[in-house]
């Protein structure tokens, strides 16, 4: 199989900031299209699924990490992951506990297949199409799992969006402390944080966008989506400029 340059970014603070912003956008944009624009869950799923397919084809054709393409794929996967969970729960009546188990099991299967093939789950060297396929499948299921688990804890448990966000942020902090000071395996720590940033972002998105009567701040999906997408765009432009400057040094 032909080797490529690493197709994913370095794991830096900016990586995690964009990741959390992207997961928040996944929640608010899905709600914006399905509810505010009245596309419905099914219509929104078709539109976003088609756009995601096109972007992933472009991403797979790239021979190296291109910030704009990569992060657009992440944002779209976040939206589609949310929609998959919402369709199962709202349209098919599957419980959040069940969908959490389904997506968690699917993610474990992807990890097992990935490890069996590559003997590692590291994202430091995604340089073949097979590795990239495992990577994006894992990302999709982390988003779907995070949506279901986040909704289960923040809504079904009655914990509320704000306390759910604090809970997930606290667990991520413990994960970081375990990695930094207790020698937790770096790859395991990464995937724990990656999975948990999804429900954290979902809880933040709902906290900002949902009406006050439902436990949110009432900012709305439109404003929340525009603000977060704008910040993502600014950071991706910065990363693109930085990468261009690195090539010219």
Give domain limits for the chain: 13-248
pLDDT tens-place string over residues 55-80 = 999 999 998 889 999 999 999 998 99
Provide mean pLDDT across the span 5-31.
85
Show contacts of 231-238: CB within 8 Å, 24+ apart.
Answer: 231/21, 232/18, 232/21, 232/22, 232/25, 232/71, 232/75, 235/14, 235/17, 235/18, 235/21, 236/18, 236/67, 236/68, 236/71, 238/14
pLDDT tens-place string over residues 129-153 = 899 999 999 999 998 888 888 778 8
Confidence band of 244 (pLDDT split at 50, 70, 90):
low
Beta-carbon-side half-sphere exposure of residue 212 (alpha carbons within 13 Å): 0
**Is pLDDT above 50 for 110?**
yes
pTM: 0.86
pLDDT at 239: 86
């Amino acid at each position: 199989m032909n080797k490529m340059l690493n197709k994913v970014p370095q794991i830096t603070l900016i990586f995690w900031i964009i990741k959390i912003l992207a997961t928040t956008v996944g929640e608010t944009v899905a709600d914006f299209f399905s509810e505010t624009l009245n596309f419905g869950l099914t219509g929104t799923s078709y539109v976003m699924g088609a756009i995601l397919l096109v972007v992933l084809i472009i991403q797979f054709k790239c021979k190296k990490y291109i910030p704009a393409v990569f992060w657009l794929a992440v944002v779209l996967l976040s939206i589609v992951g949310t929609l998959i969970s919402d369709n199962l729960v709202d349209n098919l009546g599957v419980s959040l506990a069940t969908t959490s188990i389904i997506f968690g099991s699917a993610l474990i299967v992807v990890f097992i297949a990935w490890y069996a093939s590559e003997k590692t789950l590291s994202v430091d060297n995604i340089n073949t199409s097979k590795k990239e396929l495992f990577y994006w499948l894992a990302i999709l299921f982390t988003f779907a799992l995070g949506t279901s688990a986040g909704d289960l804890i923040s809504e079904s448990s009655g914990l509320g969006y704000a306390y759910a966000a604090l809970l997930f942020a606290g667990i991520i902090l413990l994960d970081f402390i375990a990695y930094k000071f207790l020698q937790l395996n770096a790859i395991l720590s990464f995937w724990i944080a990656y999975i948990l940033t999804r429900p954290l972002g979902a809880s933040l998105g709902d906290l900002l966008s949902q009406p006050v009567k439902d436990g949110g701040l009432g900012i709305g999906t439109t404003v929340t989506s525009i603000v977060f997408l704008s910040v993502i765009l600014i950071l991706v432009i910065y990363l693109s400029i930085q990468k261009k400057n690195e090539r010219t040094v």
